[in-house]
């Protein structure tokens, strides 16, 4: 046999060995994504089945465009907004089912529980739904990405805008768990920093249904603004009952965490004029519209920022797995942090050392019924809050991973 043929055979064999080695880096040649979300409770409308759909869309789009040499599978489960159920399911997924990353994780108590299991098992946690800043502060770890929004960004948008618009006295109606407490604390700080005054607050059970006694305390305070430091069905019920008791429009409501599904459920009449802060609006540009219409075709609702962020986070994760040639947690996390995020959800987004993905946020105002021209035409974008201003600066971080 000629030397040329021997060389060719040797190169071919070497390439085959390299390819086999690369494939072996993906455990079982399967990347498995777990969607752990609220499928039946307070947050099911803003996350839930829509988050599962967004994940499947990300997987399908990634396979069609990137043609990976590995399989991708998805599993999903309902954590029922209970930390013990969530941590048990995450442990089962990691130990027995070969899940590489637990994703979505709406509800702060759930997120904090699962990120500890992920750290223990050396797996990745991708968080689109939870809001509390301790996730990237005191409780941060090197396997967690907090992707879509947080309470700092919400307060920095809505509370600041409403106070500057003349809402100088506030009373907070707060969900009594980590998320609500964090949102109230950060919003209070913003109100005070902008010349406002907090007259008091009251905390309601999570989830809640009867807010009458809490709203009457807010009414008695005489505050110009009642800050709703809750979310999902709790926010919707608070707004409905405030109208029923005649509290609005005498006092204004500030939905500190509202979603487009809340506005759709309530209608424009009771929500018109309200300011809110969001990481995504479906009707912002051609890119957002194109993706959202695909989502709507299957879900029959326009996506919330949680659902859009879920797609983006999963797609970014899969890109990192392909680029790293492995599902090894440390190597994938390094690639995710190294790679900028540029898609319909975020432009020039990036994941910092504390696990916070920073991107532009948007201050929007809910339209009057007469201003809405077509279905789901609900928001006027009042301002873009640049990424570096929207989220807590690293100089204020309490995350031990941040070098100062």
**DSSP, residue by residue, 95-160:** HHS---EEEE--SHHHHHHHHHHHHHHT-EEEESS---GGGGTTT--TTEEE-S--HHHHIIIIIH
pLDDT value of position 8: 42
What are 248-291's pLDDT values in tens digits?
Answer: 889 999 999 999 999 999 999 999 999 999 999 999 999 999 99
Tokens for 352? 């910092």
Mean pLDDT of the residues in the chain: 93
Q: What is the mean pLDDT of residues 155-183?
A: 93
Residues of the chain with CATH 3.40.50.2300: 29-149+284-355, 152-278+361-386
Q: What percent of the chain stands above pLDDT 70?
A: 94
Q: Is the pLDDT of residue 312 over 90?
A: yes
The pTM (predicted TM-score) of the whole model is 0.91
Distance between CA atoms of residues 97 and 89, nearest Å: 10
Go through the chain and tell me how many residues it has: 404
pLDDT value of position 11: 43
Tell which CATH classification among 3.90.1300.10, 3.20.20.80, 3.40.50.2300, 2.40.50.100 matches the domain 29-149+284-355.
Answer: 3.40.50.2300
Tokens for 245? 């008791």
Q: Is the pLDDT of residue 7 over 50?
A: no
On whether the CB atoms of residues 366 and 263 are closer than 8 A, the answer is yes
pLDDT value of position 208: 85
pLDDT value of position 199: 97
Q: What are phi and psi of 117, to 5 degrees?
A: -65, -40
How far are the Cα atoms of 64, 147, 212, 216, 217 from residue 343, in angstroms, in the given order?
Answer: 16, 14, 43, 45, 45
Tokens for 49? 């089945």
Q: Domain spanning 152-278+361-386 has what CATH number?
A: 3.40.50.2300
């Amino acid at each position: 046999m000629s030397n040329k043929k021997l060389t060719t055979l040797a190169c071919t064999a070497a390439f085959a060995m390299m390819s086999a080695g690369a494939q072996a880096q993906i455990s079982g040649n399967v990347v498995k994504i777990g969607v752990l979300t609220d499928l039946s409770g307070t947050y099911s409308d803003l996350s839930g089945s829509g988050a599962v759909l967004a994940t499947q869309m990300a997987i399908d789009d990634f396979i069609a465009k990137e043609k990976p040499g590995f399989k991708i599978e998805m599993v999903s489960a309902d954590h029922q907004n209970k930390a013990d159920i969530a941590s048990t399911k995450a442990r089962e997924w990691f130990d027995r089912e070969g899940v590489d990353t637990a994703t979505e994780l709406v509800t702060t108590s759930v997120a904090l529980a699962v990120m500890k299991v992920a750290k223990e098992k050396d797996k990745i946690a991708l968080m689109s739904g939870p809001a509390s800043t301790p996730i990237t502060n005191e409780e941060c770890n090197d396997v967690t990405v907090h992707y879509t929004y947080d309470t700092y960004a919400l307060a920095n948008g809505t509370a600041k805008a409403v106070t500057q618009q003349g809402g100088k006295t506030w009373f907070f109606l707060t969900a009594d768990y980590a998320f609500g407490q964090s949102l109230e604390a950060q919003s209070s700080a913003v109100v005070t920093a902008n010349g406002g005054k907090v007259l008091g607050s009251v905390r309601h059970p999570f989830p809640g249904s009867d807010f009458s006694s809490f709203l009457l305390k807010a009414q008695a305070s005489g505050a110009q603004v009642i800050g709703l430091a809750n979310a999902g069905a709790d926010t919707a019920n608070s707004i409905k009952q405030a109208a029923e008791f005649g509290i609005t429009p005498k006092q204004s409501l500030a939905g500190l965490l509202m979603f487009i599904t809340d506005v759709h459920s309530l209608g424009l009449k009771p929500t018109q004029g309200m300011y809110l802060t969001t990481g995504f609006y479906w009707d912002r540009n051609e890119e957002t519209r194109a993706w959202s219409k695909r989502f709507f075709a299957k879900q029959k609702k326009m996506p919330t920022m949680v659902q859009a962020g879920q797609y983006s986070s999963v797609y970014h994760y899969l890109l990192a797995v392909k680029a790293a040639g492995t599902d090894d947690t440390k190597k994938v996390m390094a690639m995710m942090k190294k790679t900028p995020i540029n898609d319909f959800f975020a432009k020039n987004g990036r994941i910092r050392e504390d696990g916070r993905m920073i991107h532009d946020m948007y201050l929007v105002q809910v339209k009057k019924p007469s201003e809405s021209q077509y279905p789901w035409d609900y928001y006027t974008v009042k301002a873009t809050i640049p990424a570096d201003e929207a989220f807590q600066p690293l100089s204020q971080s309490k995350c031990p991973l941040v070098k100062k």
